[in-house]
């Protein structure tokens, strides 16, 4: 068996998220597995670094698949991109160690949330930004964002987790950056709970709107009450930017063209 590592970019607009579902619309995972099975003529279970929700995008999702086929990575990349729909692209395929696991080997993920603050959203950006056409207090957003860095219990910023599931995570960085008429909230950490990034983004937006007093983020981290946190921001503004792993030797790597 060979273990292949895939880097995947996708527009999540028309998908019901990454993970295969019994009901609902198409998913990224199901689409890739179907095409892989057609090319390799064998079942192919694709495991990602983590799930992305319906409507969330990715610049560099990482996944692995174990296959019997000896098809070279370069040919596999060409075949995949020829058969996948245009809103999913495999940007890189490499053969890697059998010990590699896209989810459990990951040490950090980086997400970006895009907020368009101008009066009118450009038509080519409308599927990828959350429109907030008001003046936001960016300085206060940045001050509140600093309270999120470090290891905390993020119960207040996620959908209810099971009683045995830890809600503690480590956030390495939260940055609020102005990019013309856009604000970008970038969050990097060792893992995220369900809807956590969108909840953090929505809470910081509400901070910028003046809906929360200074110190609100620290209070939410202490009390852990989801109902007290801000709005969960829409999925379309969120993109998975990158996934980081410990340095490993790859036997073969090819970029798709």
Count the Cβ atoms, other than its own, within 10 Å of residue 169: 19
Q: How far apart are CA 224 and CA 159, in angstroms?
A: 11
Q: How far apart are CA 78 and CA 91, in angstroms?
A: 10
- Tell me the average pLDDT of the chain: 93
Cite the active site residues: 53
Whether residue 64 sits in one domain with residue 22: yes
Split at pLDDT 50, 70, 90, the class of 251 is very low
Whether residue 230 sits in one domain with residue 161: yes
pLDDT value at position 40? Answer: 96
pLDDT value at position 22? Answer: 79
For the cut 90, the answer to whether the pLDDT of residue 34 exceeds it is yes
pLDDT in tens, 187-212: 999 999 999 999 999 999 999 999 99
Share of the chain above pLDDT 70, in %: 94
Q: Which residues contact 97 (CB under 8 A, 6 or more apart)?
A: 3, 248, 249
72: part of which helix (H) or strand (E)?
none
Q: What is the pTM of this model?
A: 0.93
If one counts the domains in the chain, the total is 2
Q: How far is CA 83 from CA 34, 113, 249, in A?
A: 10, 30, 29
For the cut 90, the answer to whether the pLDDT of residue 18 exceeds it is yes
Q: State the CATH number of the domain containing residue 209.
A: 3.30.70.660
Exposure of 192 by Cβ count < 10 A (0-12 exposed, 13-18 middle, 19+ buried)?
Answer: buried
Residue-range definition of the domain harbouring residue 89: 2-105
| Residue 28 main-chain phi, psi, to 5 deg | -65, -45
pLDDT value at position 21? Answer: 84
Could you give the 3-state DSSP secondary structure of residue 145?
A: helix
Whether residue 151 sits in one domain with residue 96: no
Q: How far apart are CA 189 and CA 107, in angstroms?
A: 8
């Amino acid at each position: 068996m060979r273990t292949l590592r895939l880097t995947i970019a996708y527009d999540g607009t028309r998908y019901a998220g990454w993970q295969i579902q019994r009901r609902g619309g198409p998913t990224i995972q199901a689409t890739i597995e179907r095409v892989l099975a057609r090319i390799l003529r064998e079942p192919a279970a694709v495991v990602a670094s983590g799930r992305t929700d319906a409507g969330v995008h990715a610049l560099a999702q990482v996944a692995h698949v174990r296959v019997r086929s000896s098809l070279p990575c370069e040919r596999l990349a060409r075949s995949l991109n020829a058969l996948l729909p245009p809103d999913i692209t495999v940007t890189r395929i490499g053969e890697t160690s059998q010990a590699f696991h896209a989810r459990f080997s990951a040490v950090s993920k980086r997400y970006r949330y895009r907020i368009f603050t101008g009066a009118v959203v450009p038509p080519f950006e409308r599927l990828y930004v959350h429109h907030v056409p008001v003046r936001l207090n960016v300085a206060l957003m940045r001050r509140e964002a600093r309270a999120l860095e470090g290891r905390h219990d993020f119960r207040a910023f996620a959908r209810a987790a099971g009683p045995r599931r830890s809600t503690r995570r480590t956030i390495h960085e939260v940055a609020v950056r102005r990019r013309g008429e856009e604000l970008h909230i970038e969050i990097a950490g060792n893992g995220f709970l369900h809807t956590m990034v969108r909840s953090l983004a929505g809470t910081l937006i509400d901070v910028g709107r003046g809906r929360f007093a200074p110190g609100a983020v620290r209070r939410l981290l202490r009390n852990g009450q989801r109902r007290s946190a801000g709005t969960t921001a829409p999925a379309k503004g969120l993109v998975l930017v990158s996934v980081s792993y410990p340095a490993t030797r790859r036997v073969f790597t090819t970029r798709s063209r």
